[in-house]
């Protein structure tokens, strides 16, 4: 098991303990002139944090079985052991910015309850997603 999986499993256990402490603390400890009872907003937040850290821990644990040991998990590793090609990153693409604008349009449409803005943002979102995925799959003169 990699160090990342161990870290997120530990974080999940921490959130579980804090969730139980928070539930018991808000249920039985109250100030004067206040209604006793569980405060559900904090419980929901802690539970979602627990589930998120558990999801990441399980993902890292499963992918650990499929990959070789990394330099971060090897005690005798040097800095140059982690060097090499990490992937391809587009240097100058306009599509992430276009997708950001599309998400902003959808969010404004939802916030102000304008259906036309939601539809326009969704169309731009689909179009931008397709174009971003195809930007290196079509000839340079075609886009």
Whole-number pLDDT of residue 32: 60
Query: What residues contact residue 120 under an 8 Å CB cut-off, 6+ apart?
Result: 105, 109
| Low-confidence winner among 16-30, 102-116, 117-131 (lowest mean pLDDT) | 16-30
Say if residues 109 and 117 touch (Cβ distance below 8 Å): yes
Residue 24, domain member (yes or no):
yes
**98, 67: one domain:** no
Whole-number pLDDT of residue 26: 84
Q: Is the pTM of this model over 0.75?
A: no
Whole-number pLDDT of residue 74: 74
Kindly state the tokens that stand for 78.
Answer: 């040097």
Helices and strands: H and E segment counts in the chain: 4, 0
Whole-number pLDDT of residue 140: 63
**100, 61: one domain:** no
Please tell me what DSSP assigns to residue 33.
Answer: T
Residue 140, domain member (yes or no):
no
**112, 57: one domain:** no
Domain range for residue 120? 94-134
Residue 84, domain member (yes or no):
no
Quote the number of domains for the chain. 2
């Amino acid at each position: 098991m990699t160090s990342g999986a161990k870290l997120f499993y530990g974080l999940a256990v921490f959130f579980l303990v804090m969730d139980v402490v928070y539930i018991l603390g808000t249920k039985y400890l109250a100030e004067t002139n206040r209604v006793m009872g569980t405060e559900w907003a904090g419980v929901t937040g802690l539970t979602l944090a627990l589930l998120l850290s558990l999801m990441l821990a399980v993902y890292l644990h499963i992918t650990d079985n499929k990959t070789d040991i990394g330099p971060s998990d090897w005690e005798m590793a040097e800095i140059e052991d982690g060097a090499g090609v990490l992937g391809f990153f587009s240097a100058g693409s306009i599509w992430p910015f276009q997708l950001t604008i599309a998400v902003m349009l959808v969010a404004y449409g939802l916030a102000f309850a304008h259906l036309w803005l939601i539809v326009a943002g969704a169309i731009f979102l689909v179009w931008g997603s397709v174009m971003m995925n195809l930007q290196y799959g079509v000839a340079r003169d075609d886009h």
